[in-house]
Structure 1
Amino acid sequence: MARIVMKFGGTSMAGIERILSVAGRVKREAAAGNEVLVVVSAMAGETDRLVQLCREAAALHDAREYDVVVASGEQVTAGLLAMTLQNMGVPARSFMGWQLVRASGVHGNARVEAVEGALLDEALRGGTVAVIPGFQGVSDDGRLATLGRGGSDTSAVAIAAGLSADRCDIYTDVDGVYTTDPRIVPRARKLDAITFEEMLELAGVGAKVLQTRSVGLAMRANLPLRVLSAFEDGPGTRIVAELSGAEMEHNRIAGIAADRNEARVTLTAIADQPGTVAAVISPLAEAGILVDMIVHAATPDRGSSDLTFTVPRASLAQAMAVIEQRRAAIAYADLIHDDAVAKVSIVGVGIRSNPALAAKMFETLAERSINLLAVSSSEIKVSALIAEAELDLAVRVLHSAFGLDAEQAA
């Protein structure tokens, strides 16, 4: 007997017909003798509808009441799935996220602190399938709190870790993790397995399969994940701590990620002295604006420098306002911005031991006259900021250059 968490996204729960299909999958796992917990998202489009209602009710609304409204979508699907399972002869009951998940931080983007598993353990020991709305928990002051967009993935992983599940299966509208977006490269290959590190980097630089926080939580708990299709049977993609020797060689570069959610900001002629960069970045951090790629180019003979960095495109206006408010303290000459940029990244454990892979990336882009506006790297990732108009071409040529096309890997 295994203890399994199954998480179903919004497209999987979009209507009674699809909920019936989900119930069939859950029934098969339960019939195999497994203890099953199911975490569900709201029906596709429902959260957006609820968010819009909040905006119409009050532009400056109470974040705590916002959470009450937007969390209701998951509660509806949890109840409907429990009813459907009961009608199919499967013992099932729904719980509420606030009964199980303790959360802290900002309402609307709270973080999981702990999972209270006693209620779930009792249900599972009695042979009952537990159906849980994702995306929600309870704050320290006893108020319902939501976990931010994609928070149902985080709920599923947190509950799986908290109840020592054997694995967590994430059912989505794709059949696994691909080497890149198949809409850009139709020859993209589905990966049999990928490491937590690689998946975390891919999620962080634009891949939309899994929410970044959920991958990080699974990695810390060493909880095996699988990404599977909710609509057809298949092995999906395993997300694990380490690959086998053959898998590691095959996945020298695991994938190419593309992110259009980028904007570039440049401050010219700032002082070339300690503390200047902090004077720019610290106010942005205080405003909750994520700064990604940073290039600081000094001109020693002039005693000044230029600072370039990227922020999420949706945060560009706010970032510009924060910097303009501090113009006197920062003392820059010009403030330049560009939102027609994008980020392309190569990700793979092979980068750790083979520095030639980064060189190959730059050479490949240069051969197609794709200019690099900024570069950043980690132990297993190299990212380049380029013109957005060149992003699809960059992804395609890198995908081929690293042997990731399906026919190349066959």
Structure 2
Amino acid sequence: MSLVVQKYGGSSVADLERIRHVASRVRRYFLEGHRLVVVVSAMGKTTDALLAMAQELHPFPPEREVDVLLATGEQVSIALLSIALFAQGVPSIALTGGQAGIITTDVHTKARILRVEVERIFRHLNEGKVVIVAGFQGVTESGDITTLGRGGSDTTACALAAALRADVCEIYTDVAGVFTADPRIVPEARKIPRISYDEMSEMASLGAKVLQLRAVDFSRLYRVRVHVRSTFFEEEGTWVEEVENMEEVKVRAITHSLEVVKVVLLGVPDEPGVAALILRTLADFSVSLDMIIQSEGREGKKDIAFVIPREDEGKVRRALEDLQKILSFEGVKFDEDVGKVSVVGAGVANDPRIAFRMFDTLARCGVNIDMISTSNLRISCLIPKGRVEESVRALHKTFISDSEVILREGS
């Protein structure tokens, strides 16, 4: 008998027919003798609809109240799935994040999990029940409802799998696994059978929406085997796990993101501690930055540019308004007409030919590169938003499709 954590995303439970389908899949596992904890997202676009209503009332609604509102979406899903299982003769119980023992920090809309108190879940499992947990949410030490940010149900599932020492964490979605590029943009993209935690972490941080970054980090830290697969088909998906011989792999995938904004602070005082103050202020607002560039000083001034997630633009604007009063910098520019493309894979940083081939491919497409950042596992370029899809297709051809042809011909 194995302990399995399953997570079903919003598209998997978008309507009652799909909820019945999920219940049937869970029932099969249950009848095979597995102990099951099932994490569920809100139905379809429920979260977006709830957030839109809040913003119609106020452009910047209080984040505590936003969490109280958004958490209701998952509560609908878990109750309906539990009822569907009851209709199919499967004993189950629906638990909110707080009832499931998920204790978080008090940073609303982007809380982090501090610990999972698993006693109640194990009690229900020992009673022979399927435990259905609301994803994306938890409670603070003082009992306030929190949410974990976009894709937070993935984090809930992987955190539960780690805390419960589950045999596997299955992430069910509307795609068949992790691909070498977005199949909607690159029809010839290939499903990746196995991928390392590190590579998956890079892909998640760079815009691949199949698995949330913090979920990957939980899995890597606690060595949770993750299986990303389709809700609607039985075929095996992609295993995220420890992979040996990573150095033999070059470019694993091409990722992209359109949900980014370039921010430029103009005429910032060129003095020690100024950059630290800016970054600390944004960190206090739980904003993550990428591609940080600082210009050379000129007449005691400098410019600082960085890239932020689009969802954080409102809070960054508010934070910089207050900061400008303190530092008296000349102005701020926000550029929303940008996107990010990246090549990801073990060995990327150690092979200078990869950077050359990436830049050469973009140049041959006539795509101008605005900003560049690198890590051990990726090279990312900020480019005009309207050229992103074309660039993804060209990079996939250069690094993956053509490489596969060369390998086949060589063999």
Same fold flag (TM > 0.5): yes
Q: Match of 2:31?
A: 31
Provide the secondary structure at the position in 2 that maps to 1:97: coil
Summarize deviations over 1:239-274 as a string: whole Å, max 9, x none.
112x244x864x421211111122223345555553
By how many angstroms is 1:116 displaced? 1.7
State the distance in 2 between where 1:274 and 1:68 align. 41
Unaligned stretches of 5+ residues in structure 2: none
Aligned-partner residue type, residue 126 of structure 1: E
Aligned-partner residue type, residue 190 of structure 1: K
Q: Match of 2:360?
A: 363
Summarize deviations over 1:257-298 as a string: whole Å, max 9, x none.
111122223345555553343354343334444321122232
| RMSD between aligned residues | 2.7
Summarize deviations over 1:212-253 as a string: whole Å, max 9, x none.
111111111110101110111110111112x244x864x421
Task: Give TM-score, length-normalised by structure 2.
Answer: 0.89
State the distance in 2 between where 1:390 and 1:109 align. 31
By how many angstroms is 1:353 displaced? 3.9
Distance verdict in 2 for CA 1:317–1:28, change over 3 Å? closer
Distance verdict in 2 for CA 1:276–1:73, change over 3 Å? closer
Provide the secondary structure at the position in 2 that maps to 1:397: helix
Q: Match of 2:74?
A: 74
Please state if 1:173 is matched with 2:195. Answer: no
Q: Match of 1:256?
A: 254
State the distance in 1 between where 2:256 and 2:127 align. 46
State the distance in 2 between where 1:148 and 1:271 align. 34
Provide the secondary structure at the position in 2 that maps to 1:372: coil
Provide the secondary structure at the position in 2 that maps to 1:234: coil
Summarize deviations over 1:298-349 as a string: whole Å, max 9, x none.
268x675443322234544654565465557646556444322211111111
Distance verdict in 2 for CA 1:120–1:316, change over 3 Å? closer
Distance verdict in 2 for CA 1:127–1:286, change over 3 Å? closer
Provide the secondary structure at the position in 1 that maps to 2:182: coil
Aligned-partner residue type, residue 400 of structure 1: K
State the distance in 1 between where 2:268 and 2:52 align. 42
Distance verdict in 2 for CA 1:67–1:314, change over 3 Å? closer
Task: Report how many aligned residue pairs link the two structures.
Answer: 406
Distance verdict in 2 for CA 1:321–1:60, change over 3 Å? closer
Unaligned stretches of 5+ residues in structure 1: none
Q: Match of 2:104?
A: 103
Distance verdict in 2 for CA 1:22–1:368, change over 3 Å? same
Distance verdict in 2 for CA 1:396–1:99, change over 3 Å? same
Q: Match of 2:342?
A: 345
State the distance in 2 between where 1:144 and 1:112 align. 12
Please state if 1:374 is matched with 2:393. Answer: no
Moved more, 201-210 or 285-294: 285-294
Matched-pair contact (CA < 8 Å) for 2:110–2:286: no
Matched-pair contact (CA < 8 Å) for 1:253–1:347: yes
State the distance in 2 between where 1:231 and 1:354 align. 39
Summarize deviations over 1:150-172 as a string: whole Å, max 9, x none.
22111111111111101100000
Distance verdict in 2 for CA 1:319–1:64, change over 3 Å? closer
